Amino acid sequence: MTKKTIVRVTDVTKDFDLGKIVVEVLKGIDLEIETGKYVSIMGPSGSGKSTLFNMIGGLDKPTTGKVFIDEVDIAQLDAYELAWLRCRKIGYIFQTFNLIPVMTALENVTLPMTFAGVPSETAVEKGMDLLKKVGLEGRHAHKPSELSGGQQQRVAVARALANSPSIILADEPTGNLDLKTGEEIISLLKDMSDDQGVTVISATHDYKMLNVSDQVIWIRDGRVDKVQERDELEINTGGMSS
Amino acid sequence: MARLVVLPFTKSIEIAYKSLQARFFRSLVTTLTLVLAVSFLTFSQVNINIADSLLASGDPDMCHMLMRCGYDIMPGDTSLAASPKQRWIVILSLLVCVVGIINAQLMSVTERFREIGTMKCLGALDRFIVRLFVMEATIQGLAGAVSGAIFGGVVAIISALFRFGPESLGNLPWPEIATSLATATLTGIALSLAGVLYPAVIAARMQPVEAMRVEQ
């Protein structure tokens, strides 16, 4: 089977102009992420991990270099195409869950489908199905404020999957959750990745993520420090625990 | 394949309505500004309508009463207009109202930065966000302007009852009053929309990356 690349980052740099000084956050990053992989981007705070992550998600544009999603250079897309990309190709999961507080769990899940032009009934049906998959059957009418952190993140996972995207981008998805709930969310993401062939890219400090990752990209000081495949990783994590 | 994202009209009304419902108290305060301004406008207009009809009746007693109540009537006048001072007060009150609405809507945009950013991450276009805010303002405008117009009209009629006596209510100029109410309602809706435009544009221009920021 030929390996297909879904995300390709070539020589990306990003500077932030802070008036008097220009901070170089990314200093030339080259990456290729294969379809269907569960990839973790690891790195200390301030390493440029989140910036890289935002570039991959089409939320921010690089100063130089190119980001390709499905071999499309996202710098070439206009506002409509970019919105379409965010709506159909990418599912976002945030550290702070970011559910729309005035909407119920089901409405949160169906919102991206509404944007995608899915008829209301189909959207509700799929939304209920997704909520069931993430283990929230019967909670569809609850507002985010009536759900626990873990449950909110489950709704967010269901929402990210709504338009069957090719990529799920998760920014510290377990950052605001306790150990056990975090593990549940990680295994949920892993199952979704295995079942539906979605590429999961997650920025994290959470070492629990390592166990499920197919590939770990270590970012240090604006550069790719190393890329480890799953088999190399097990030796390493074993090494750490000893 | 058409690469288009959509937000059907009915769905945007539904979202706007729910949003207002969820922030009921806040929206009520914003709407109240509008109610007060519109009722003041209606009150002064309907007052003039009533005084006009009394003058038009040609009854000398009524003319005397109008003069006693402070209206400057020259012999031969057939209609009364608002004095420049009155007009200025009404205009000022409307301006203050718009500034109040802009302030309230800017607060609401700031409060919802994350929500707006999230919607953009989910594929919302700038104009969806503008539309949602405009819808909310229209609903608020409609509710505030209609209740303000009714309230102002009722108060004007009651005040006429006390100032000009019960006989003045015998031939109220209904068509003119209705026109004044309609004009005031439309003005109210226009004010509400004028107040939301700038905040809505700010909201729409927000970058989706804002949604990723961790600090609350």
3-state helix, strand, coil in chain B (%, to 5): 80, 0, 20
For residue B182, name the pLDDT band (cuts at 50, 70, 90). Answer: very high
Specify the amino acid at residue B121. C
Percent of chain B with pLDDT over 70: 94
Q: Which residues of A touch B3 (CB under 8 A)?
A: 80-81, 84, 88
Chain A (24-53) residues lying within 8 Å, Cβ to Cβ, of chain B: 50
Measured CA to CA, the distance from residue A31 to residue A10 in angstroms comes to 7
Structural domain includes residue B3: no
Q: Is A164 on the interface with B (CB under 8 A)?
A: no
CATH code: domain A36-47+78-241 is: 3.40.50.300
Q: Are A143 and A155 in contact (CB under 8 A)?
A: no
Measured CA to CA, the distance from residue B69 to residue B55 in angstroms comes to 13
Q: Is A21 on the interface with B (CB under 8 A)?
A: no
Structural domain includes residue B97: yes
Measured CA to CA, the distance from residue B150 to residue B157 in angstroms comes to 11
B73 to chain A, closest Cα gap in Å = 57
Instruction: Determine which of B122, B132, B135, B216 to mutate to test the interface with A (most A C-beta atoms within 10 Å).
Output: B122
pLDDT in the model for residue A2: 63
Measured CA to CA, the distance from residue B139 to residue B13 in angstroms comes to 9
The chain B residue lying nearest A118, using CA atoms, is B6
Instruction: Determine which of B21, B212, B213 to mutate to test the interface with A (most A C-beta atoms within 10 Å).
Output: B212
Question: Of B51 and B80, which is predicted with more confidence?
Answer: B51
Q: What are the residue ranges spanned by the domains of chain A?
A: 36-47+78-241
- Respond yes or no on whether ipTM tops 0.90: no
User: And the tokens for A173?
Assistant: 């998805």
Q: How far is CA A54 from CA A118, A202, B99, B159, B211, in A?
A: 27, 11, 37, 63, 11
Residues 6+ apart with CB under 8 A from B67: B73
**What is the total count of domains within chain B?**
1
pLDDT in the model for residue A144: 95
- Residue A223, judged by CB atoms within 10 A of its CB (0-12, 13-18, 19+), counts as middle
Measured CA to CA, the distance from residue A197 to residue A135 in angstroms comes to 20
For residue B216, name the pLDDT band (cuts at 50, 70, 90). Answer: very low
Structural domain includes residue B4: no
Sheet containing strand A215-220, strands side by side: A90-93, A167-171, A199-204, A38-42, A215-220, A223-229
pLDDT in the model for residue B15: 92
Structural domain includes residue B137: yes
Measured CA to CA, the distance from residue A139 to residue A132 in angstroms comes to 9
Helical residues (DSSP H) of A9-148, grouped into ranges = 49-56, 79-84, 105-115, 120-133
pLDDT in the model for residue A1: 52
**Which range of residues forms the domain containing residue B77?**
9-212
Structural domain includes residue B180: yes
Of B6, B122, B216, the CB nearest to A111: B122
Closest to B58 measured CA to CA, from B195, B171, B154: B171
Q: Is A100 on the interface with B (CB under 8 A)?
A: yes
Structural domain includes residue B175: yes
The chain B residue lying nearest A103, using CA atoms, is B18
pLDDT in the model for residue A241: 43
Closest to A130 measured CA to CA, from A148, A106, A94, A98: A106
Per-residue pLDDT of chain A (242 residues; tens, 9 = 90+): 567 899 999 999 999 888 889 999 999 999 999 999 999 999 888 888 888 888 898 888 899 999 999 889 998 999 899 999 999 999 999 989 999 999 999 999 999 999 999 999 999 999 999 999 999 999 999 999 999 999 999 999 999 999 999 999 998 899 888 888 899 899 999 988 888 889 999 988 888 888 889 999 999 999 998 898 888 876 555 444 43
Q: Which residues of A touch B21 (CB under 8 A)?
A: 102
Q: Are B199 and B30 in contact (CB under 8 A)?
A: no
